[in-house]
Amino acid sequence: MDESSVKETTTQSGVDDGRIKDLKAFDDTKAGVKGLVDAGVTSLPKIFIRPPDELVEELNHGHSQAKVPVIDLNGIEIDDQRKSIVDGLRRASEEWGFFQVVNHGIPSSVLDGMIDGTRKFHEQDAELKKEYYSRDRMRKVRFDSNIDLYHSRSVNWRDTLTINLLYYNQIVPDELPEICRSSAMDYINHVTKLAETLFELLSEALGMELDNLRAMECARGRSFVCHYYPACPEPDLTLGVNRHTDPAFLTILLQDHIGGLQFLHDNNWTDVPPIPGGLVVNIADLLQIVSNDKFKSREHRVIANRIGPRISVACFFIGVAVPEKIYGPAKELTSDETPAVYREFTVKEYISGLFSRPIDKSGLDNFKI
């Protein structure tokens, strides 16, 4: 991003000139947050410190000890067990918007390999990573720090390798960094199959035919974000990821043993602790729309931590962006008694809003009727 583009973007967001220079200087290093850690920083640069009003707003939310639902997928081929699984998914999707899945069929070696591959990418020589550094959202594989760097009120303490299959659908091994190529290909294939299974189960949970969400091709467009959160010297002053909802149908998250993910439940921040071999699943904005508000997309965030690095890999299942496909509340879920809450939309239309605002601003309200 050139200097004039940065100035235009940040001016529209109300960012002052001094902050523009600091953001640009950080971006120009192409080394991300890890570059700061490697340089030996012992206190947070100003651009990472959350505004005072945001820190005060924390007092409006408590911290919950509630236990996130865990769904055991073992036995989905057996009628009675499948019914129990579908019922559990329905309750979790309606009341929580978050759940964890175990016995999902992805080998632990594939999960561990993806965590290890992500770590190796981010911890390799900085000059090798710079080859992938870009803010071009159309690039299939890119490395950057903070997708909303020039829009956010404070920079988050994380770096990201993104594998973007929203517009391309497929990727060949040579397009991926060699250091994590094999592990990423294995994980992409396995987690996509899991998503297709989950969409079948969620269709049933909505009272629709099991292939309805699959027929909408909800799992076709995908984006994999491989996050690296270094240990933070002042974690109380910043975040790993600002509060947000996901502009997708469904998110499947692989996280390491450190944890830090929280979601808002009954106005309290609720931890999603790592489960060995488990994967976190959350309902995202587009599925809330298609379900006509039956399923809920919840705000969530990642806190910073003195312990690290934390590794996580989120896969967003976003539907069909090209060629444009029209989505909206499912006809089976609307009637004169329960009219559509949202208007129809395209994925491209929904996603475009993501890049014109901070990630902590949900786009759902823009599509309400």
What mean pLDDT is predicted for residues 281-290? 98
Specify the pLDDT at position 168. Answer: 82
Res 133 pLDDT > 90? yes
Q: How far is CA 121 from the centre of its chain?
A: 19
What mean pLDDT is predicted for residues 5-30? 73
Q: How far is CA 7 from the centre of its chain?
A: 27
- Angle, helices 108-123 vs 181-205, to 10°: value is 130
Give the CA-trace dihedral at 70, 75, 76, 77, to 10 degrees: 180
Q: Would you say 283 and 213 are in contact if contact means Cβ atoms under 8 Å apart?
A: no
Q: Could you report the per-residue pLDDT of 141-152, keeping only the tens digit for each?
A: 999 999 989 988
Both tokens of residue 79? 């009628």
Both tokens of residue 81? 């067990």
Specify the pLDDT at position 358. Answer: 60
Query: Which residue segments constitute the domains of the chain, with CATH numbers given?
Result: 31-367 (2.60.120.330)
Res 2 pLDDT > 80? no
Q: Would you say 103 and 219 are in contact if contact means Cβ atoms under 8 Å apart?
A: no
- Mean predicted lDDT score pLDDT of the chain: 93
Specify the pLDDT at position 357. Answer: 61
Confidence of residue 303 (pLDDT cuts 50, 70, 90): very high
Q: Could you report the per-residue pLDDT of 317-366, keeping only the tens digit for each?
A: 999 999 899 999 999 999 999 999 999 999 999 988 776 666 666 789 89
Q: How far apart are CA 143 and CA 140, in angstroms?
A: 10
- Predicted model pTM: 0.93
Both tokens of residue 363? 């786009």
Where helices occur in 96-251 by DSSP H, the ranges are 108-123, 126-130, 181-205, 212-215
Percent share of the chain, pLDDT over 70: 94
Burial class (CB in 10 A: 0-12, 13-18, 19+), 214: middle
Res 61 pLDDT > 60? yes
Phi, psi of 231 (to 5 degrees): -55, 140
Q: How far apart are CA 252 and CA 99, in angstroms?
A: 10
Most confident region among 56-60, 149-153, 302-306 by mean pLDDT: 302-306
Both tokens of residue 156? 């988050």
